[in-house]
Amino acid sequence: SSEVLEAIENVIQGVLQSLAQNKAPVLTVANRRDWRNIEFKDSVGLQMIPGSTTKQIRSDCPQSARRFALTLKILSVIYKMVQSNTYATKRDIYYSDTLLFGSQSVVDQIINDISCMLKIPRRSLHVLSTTKGFVAGNLSYTEEDGTKVNCTCSATAVTVPSNVQGIKNLTSHAKFILIVEKDATFQRLLDDDFFNKVSPCIMITGRGIPDLNTRLLVRKLWDSFQIPVFTLMDADPHGVEIMCVYKYGSVSMSFEAHHLTVPSVKWLGLLPSDLERLNICKDALIPFTKQDENKLASIQKRPYIACQPLWKKELEIMAASKLKAEIQVLTSLSSDYLSRVYLPNKLQFGGWL
């Protein structure tokens, strides 16, 4: 905590020095969303390069003066929380003054900018994210406050903990981790008792694009157990994008890649080639929108696709057909096809990429 306080004090000292010299104070933040600041490493995923380009948040410029003021405001909130050893969610910070901040996304972006600027993980800033992910299966652990959590015996999923770094005593006999894109599919597998029937496993869903805590938990489980990590996504550009976030990380959070990415993630399904192999009726597939085409084209250009020839091939199949499918399309074969046939076969015969 003293490191965090010192880092904030250094920023404020810079502001005061500028004022003392009659200069307009400026905050310098790395350009988090610029691909030119990102390098791709197989072992880490997308990470920010040391000498990345920066942008200035100026106090004397109408376009950025408000951003400057809000950044100082949130820095002061963080400083007080670290000093008093209290925590708040991003939502709490937004609701402390909704008129001032204007929207939740403004608060979220500024907190990520601060984390990147100070080179300190968000958790150490005493800012919690609201968790939306779920975990179920062969896993038990102790939370930071001593609460024992057992995911194995519950027929319902457990919410991903809000302080993943604080959990300890993780035990599991799981043979693999299965990341499921959607809540509905996750619930279906839970109802079918999938994680007990095939072989013991841990199932996780980020319910769409995963939040920070879900990504941290996947990484922690992989570090702890070193077991295979598979993904089950829709066969569409959005599903591929989500899988890439787990495996390679995201551009905007590349400064924290070392804690968040799991480069060993494998694509289990739903593969575009599966649709033909399983003779899925064309009527059950959904035509691409213009947005889908653009998203797929942008994914195909990313540096990590070049080193994944099998993924590349699947994306080419998708691009050629201009059709996408949700995992639920498998129910057109039979209601429990996913848990009874599709996943067991894939896992038994190595049907992943």
Catalytic residues: 95
Q: Distance between CA atoms of 42 and 261, rounded to whole angstroms? A: 11
Kindly give, in sequence order, each residue whose CB lies less than 8 Å from that of residue 252, ignoring residues fewer than 6 positions away: 32, 33, 112
What are the C-alpha distances in Å from 112 to residues 194, 264, 353?
37, 26, 33
SS3 54: strand
On whether the CB atoms of residues 217 and 262 are closer than 8 A, the answer is: no
On whether the CB atoms of residues 77 and 40 are closer than 8 A, the answer is: no
Q: Distance between CA atoms of 25 and 310, rounded to whole angstroms? A: 51
Q: Distance between CA atoms of 33 and 52, rounded to whole angstroms? A: 11
What are the C-alpha distances in Å from 133 to residues 118, 179, 205?
27, 11, 6
Tell me the one-letter amino acid at 76. S
Phi-psi sector, 280: left (phi>0), alpha (psi -120 to 50), beta:
beta
